[in-house]
């Protein structure tokens, strides 16, 4: 049976191509908000980190009405590291809107999300966004999207997909690049005409696949998904098919549907509708809820596996426990395993040490968002340098490769090509992206990108735009040199002094300023040379009849570098750890004592013989 009054769609695109802004316009023009209501921009980005960084991290649901048709919309992340959110969101919908920037065009994540939609045979509406942007080429980008369909070996029917042009920021859509009408009416009509309504047997046994999990402090865990078959009511008894094959019983305490940005309680719902179910305390993503008489487990969409891992461990530095609220291995373990309940692209495994856990994710950003969330919640811990996950395929050692796209000024193309070649990258394409910019496309090992962004920004004077997306596993490319500069390491504990910092800054660039608490083995800067060097940043000027202690004020310090979490993760070396607390980020050596570091280095050399 068809539900003619419902359309379920997902909006997919590369990062920063305007998905959330487009939904803003659709919500405002569908009467979701009152005329006098004060509404934030990017209203769907409700998470603090999403607002700060201007990216979508978590897939979210909303709905609008058009001609008595309810359009359920899923806003998906654009960054490759959150591809798991995209993949499970596609199981909820019957079609997608593919957004492409009229200036940037098809980027690595555009290719990734479109490939996932094609694998599920979902109809596609193409929207070329930001046509009001200076130097945009909307018609060319539309052709590029069609070429991408061909490149991905899509069925020929996809070449007839509806193509629209829009400015989400100005709130209009049209069938031509020129603005022909006010508002998003053309887009709403395309959704009604091009996206099929959901089909399901309302008379059959209830069947519901859990695609997402939310938590409410009053009702507990909420299971989000689409009813595939049958209908359900509040206070109804149900059966749950667990991932491990176990069967359990439960009872639904409350049902919710999406109305605009709100979850609205309802008494019942039927096939084709996207709903939230409350009352099953231990429900997890990928499990199937069925009728009380029995349940038929549904296959869950296969999620791409992690490609990057790092160790999370209890903080053992001399300053441990001074900032954090949760500092023990039990706290760390509980928090990491709780993350698995909603973050399905993540893997957490115990190690030989009870204080250390191996955490694997889809990329540096995926893991850094977890780290940032934990530190904001009051956790204190240490993390190691990210490493790629290798596999043995047909007896050959293989590693993950990424499709890397860099838009760079023509003056720096040679530098970029050389630096990527040094990291085992292979140049695939080289095209002019504008009058003075060139787009370079590489196939490069994922480990070659660790620490590369900061190096690239320095080499191109901050003008390069870099994007990458996991492509596939390929034979291991061999070793290459990592970080080209060593660390400046504090030789003794205390507080940093201007005089000591002044002497240390001659050796390289500093990460700290005066009056900072340091400890032996803490990394306080980057050496200008390849080797590590110990420096005494707590050193005071000797006070004699000829020298006054107050003359330190005449010394001028170069402003120290303030690195972000991602920059620290890129900076740390194999023998270093990043100490993470609610208020501080500190790099330290694994072995704090200099003699211990020398012994560890000698053992490593002996083992390498």
Query: According to the 3-state scheme, what is the secondary structure of 412-425?
Result: HHHHHHHHHHHCCC
Instruction: List the beta bridge partners of residue 201.
Output: none
Backbone dihedral angles phi then psi of residue 453, each to the nearest 5 degrees: -60, -45
Mean pLDDT for the stretch of residues 587-604: 90
Across the range 428-449, mean pLDDT stands at 86
DSSP state for residue 299 in the 8-state scheme: P
Helices (H), 435-539: 452-459, 498-504
User: Taking the CB of residue 13, how many other CB atoms lie within 10 A of it?
Assistant: 28
In this structure, what token pair is assigned to residue 269? Answer: 């719902």
* Higher local confidence (pLDDT), 461 or 239: 239
Pair of tokens at residue 570: 């890129």
Instruction: Give yes or no for residue 126 having a pLDDT over 70.
Output: yes
The whole-number pLDDT of residue 540 equals 85
331 is annotated as contributing to ligand binding: no
Q: How far apart are CA 600 and CA 172, in angstroms?
A: 63
Q: What percent of the chain has pLDDT over 90?
A: 36
State the CATH class of domain 487-570+587-608: mainly beta
245 is annotated as contributing to ligand binding: no
Query: Does residue 591 carry a pLDDT above 60?
Result: yes
Please say whether the structural domain 391-475 has been given the CATH code 3.30.70.240: yes
Q: Is the pLDDT of residue 499 over 60?
A: yes
Shortest CA distance to 343 belongs to which of 318, 368, 361, 364? 361
pTM to 2 decimal places: 0.74
135 class by beta-carbon count within 10 Å (0-12 exposed, 13-18 middle, 19+ buried): exposed
Q: CB-hemisphere CA count at 13 Å for 88?
A: 25
Contacts of 391 (CB under 8 A, 6+ apart): 397, 398, 399, 473
Phi-psi region of 272 (alpha: psi -120 to 50; beta: other; left: phi over 0): left
Q: Is 185 annotated as a binding residue?
A: no
CB atoms under 10 Å from CB of 556, counted, come to: 8
Radius of gyration of the chain (CA): 27
pLDDT average, residue stretch 193-220: 84
CATH number for the domain whose boundaries are 207-291? 2.40.30.10
| pLDDT(123) > 90 | yes
Of 404 and 467, the structure prediction assigns the larger pLDDT to: 404
Note the pLDDT of residue 590: 93
User: What burial class does residue 366 get, using C-beta atoms within 10 Å of its C-beta: 0-12 exposed, 13-18 middle, 19+ buried?
Assistant: buried
Contacts with 413 (C-beta within 8 Å, 6 or more apart), sequence order? 430, 438, 440
User: Please, what's the b/e burial string for 327-354 (b: 16 or more CB within 10 A of its CB; e: otherwise)?
Assistant: beeebbbebbeeeeebbbbbebeeeeee
- The yes-or-no verdict on residue 379 having pLDDT over 80 is yes
Q: How confident is the model at residue 38 (pLDDT cuts 50, 70, 90)?
A: very low
| Summary mean pLDDT of the chain | 84
Given a cut of 90, is residue 53 above it in pLDDT? no
pLDDT at 395: 92
Q: What is the DSSP letter of 334?
A: H
In sequence order, which residues have a C-beta less than 8 Å from that of residue 92 and are 6 or more positions away? Answer: 8, 10, 61, 72, 74, 211, 225, 226, 274
- Top pLDDT among 189 and 453 is at 189
Exposed, middle or buried, 437 (CB in 10 Å: 0-12/13-18/19+)?
A: middle
- For 63-80, b/e burial (b = at least 16 CB within 10 A) is bbebeebbbbbbbbbbbb
Q: How confident is the model over 219-272, as pLDDT tens digits?
A: 778 888 889 889 999 999 999 998 777 888 999 999 998 887 778 899 999 888
The 10 Å Cβ neighbour count of residue 4 is: 12
* % of the chain beyond a pLDDT of 70: 89
Q: Is the Cβ–Cβ distance between 388 and 400 less than 8 Å?
A: yes
| 451 in a labelled binding site | no
Q: What is the DSSP string of 192-260?
A: HHHSPPPB--TTS--EEEEEEEEEETTTEEEEEEEEEESEEETT-EEEEE-TTS-EEEEE--EEEEEEB
Pairing state between β 308-314 and 381-384: antiparallel
User: Which pLDDT belongs to residue 105?
Assistant: 85
- Structural domain boundaries of the chain? 6-194, 207-291, 391-475, 487-570+587-608
Q: Is residue 17 part of an annotated ligand binding site?
A: yes
- CA count, 13 A, side-chain hemisphere, 183: 10
Q: Of 519, 508, 506, 512, whose CA–CA distance to 483 is shortest?
A: 508
The mean per-residue pLDDT over the stretch 69-81 comes to 72
Tell me how far CA of residue 494 lies from CA of 125, 466, 557, in angstroms.
62, 40, 19
Tokens 């999300």 correspond to what residue? 113
Residue with tokens 């690239």: 456
Average pLDDT over residues 291-295: 85
Instruction: Band the pLDDT of 33: cuts 50, 70, 90.
Output: very low
Q: Are 397 and 390 in contact (CB under 8 A)?
A: yes
Nearest alpha carbon to residue 417 among 392, 440, 390, 447: 440
Mean pLDDT value across residues 570-574: 87
Q: Averaged over 386-404, what is the pLDDT?
A: 91
A 10 A CB-CB count for 550 gives: 9
The pLDDT value given to residue 302 = 66
Q: Which residues contact 270 (CB under 8 A, 6 or more apart)?
A: 3, 200, 202, 227, 230, 231, 232
In a 13 Å sphere around the CA of 57, the CA atoms on its Cβ side amount to 19
Inform me whether the pLDDT recorded for 187 exceeds 80.
yes
Mean pLDDT of 474-483: 83
What per-residue confidence (pLDDT) applies to 50? 44
Q: What is the H or E stretch that residue 163 is in?
A: strand 163-167
Q: How far is CA 303 from the centre of its chain?
A: 15
- Residues 28-35: what's their mean pLDDT? 60
The residues facing 326 across adjacent strands are 379
Compare 497 and 67 and report the one with higher pLDDT: 497
Residue that wins the pLDDT comparison between 61 and 317: 317
Indicate the range of 21-25, 213-217, 505-509 predicted with least confidence. Answer: 213-217
Residue 38, annotated as binding a ligand:
no
Indicate the fold that domain 6-194 takes in CATH.
Rossmann fold (3.40.50)
Confidence of residue 378 (pLDDT cuts 50, 70, 90): very high
């Amino acid at each position: 049976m068809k539900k003619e009054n419902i359309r379920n769609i997902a909006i997919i695109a590369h990062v920063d191509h305007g998905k959330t802004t487009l939904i803003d316009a659709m919500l405002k023009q569908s009467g979701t908000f009152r005329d006098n209501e004060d509404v934030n921009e990017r209203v769907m980005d409700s998470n603090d980190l999403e607002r700060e960084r201007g990216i979508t991290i978590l897939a979210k649901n909303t709905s609008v009405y058009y001609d008595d048709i309810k359009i359920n919309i899923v806003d998906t992340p654009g960054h490759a590291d959150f591809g798991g959110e995209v993949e499970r969101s596609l199981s909820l919908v019957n079609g997608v809107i593919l957004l492409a920037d009229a200036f940037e065009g098809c980027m690595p994540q555009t290719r990734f999300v479109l490939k996932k939609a094609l694998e599920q045979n979902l109809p596609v509406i193409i929207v070329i966004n930001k046509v009001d942007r200076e130097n945009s080429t909307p018609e060319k980008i539309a052709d590029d999207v069609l070429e991408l369909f061909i490149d991905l070996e899509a069925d020929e029917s996809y070449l007839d997909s509806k193509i629209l042009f829009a400015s989400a920021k100005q709130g209009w859509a049209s069938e031509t690049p020129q603005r022909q009408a006010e508002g998003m009416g053309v887009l709403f009509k395309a959704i009604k005409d091009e996206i099929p309504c959901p089909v399901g047997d309302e008379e059959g046994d209830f069947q519901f696949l859990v695609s997402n999990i939310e938590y409410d402090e009053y009702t507990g865990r909420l299971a989000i998904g689409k009813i595939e078959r049958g209908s359900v009511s509040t206070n109804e008894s149900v059966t749950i098919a667990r991932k491990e094959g176990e069967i359990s019983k439960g009872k639904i305490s409350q049902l919710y549907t999406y109305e605009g940005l709100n979850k609205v309680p309802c008494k019942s719902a039927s096939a084709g509708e996207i709903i939230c179910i409350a009352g099953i305390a231990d429900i997890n993503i990928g499990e199937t809820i069925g009728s009380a008489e029995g349940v038929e487990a549904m296959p869950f969409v296969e999620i791409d596996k992690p490609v990057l891992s790092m160790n999370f461990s209890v903080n053992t530095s001399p300053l441990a426990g001074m900032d954090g609220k949760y500092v023990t291995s039990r706290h760390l373990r509980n928090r990491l395993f709780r993350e698995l309940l909603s973050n399905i692209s993540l893997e957490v495994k115990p190690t030989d040490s009870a204080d250390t856990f191996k955490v694997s994710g889809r990329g540096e950003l995926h893991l850094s968002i977890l780290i940032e969330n934990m530190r904001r919640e009051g956790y204190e811990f240490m993390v190691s340098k990210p490493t790629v996950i290798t596999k043995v395929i047909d007896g050959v050692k293989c590693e993950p490769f990424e499709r890397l796209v860099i838009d760079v000024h023509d003056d720096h193309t040679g530098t970029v090509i050389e630096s990527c070649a040094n990291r085992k990258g292979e140049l695939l394409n080289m095209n002019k992206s504008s009058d003075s910019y060139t787009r370079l496309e590489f196939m490069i090992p994922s480990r070659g990108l660790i620490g590369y962004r900061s190096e690239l920004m320095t080499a191109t004077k901050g003008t390069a735009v870099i994007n990458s997306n996991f492509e596939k596993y390929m034979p291991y490319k061999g070793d290459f040199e990592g970080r080209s500069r060593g660390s400046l390491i504090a030789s003794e504990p205390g507080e940093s002094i201007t005089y000591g910092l002044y002497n240390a800054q001659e050796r390289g660039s500093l990460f700290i300023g005066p009056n900072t608490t340091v400890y032996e083995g803490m990394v306080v800067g980057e050496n200008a040379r390849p080797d590590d060097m110990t420096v005494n940043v707590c050193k005071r000027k000797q006070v004699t009849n000829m020298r006054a202690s107050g003359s330190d004020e005449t010394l001028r310090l170069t402003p120290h570098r303030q690195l972000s979490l991602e920059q620290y993760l890129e900076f740390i070396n194999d023998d270093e750890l990043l100490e993470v607390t609610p208020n501080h980020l500190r790099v330290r050596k694994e072995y704090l004592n200099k003699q211990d570091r020398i012994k560890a280095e000698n053992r490593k050399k002996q083992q390498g013989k």
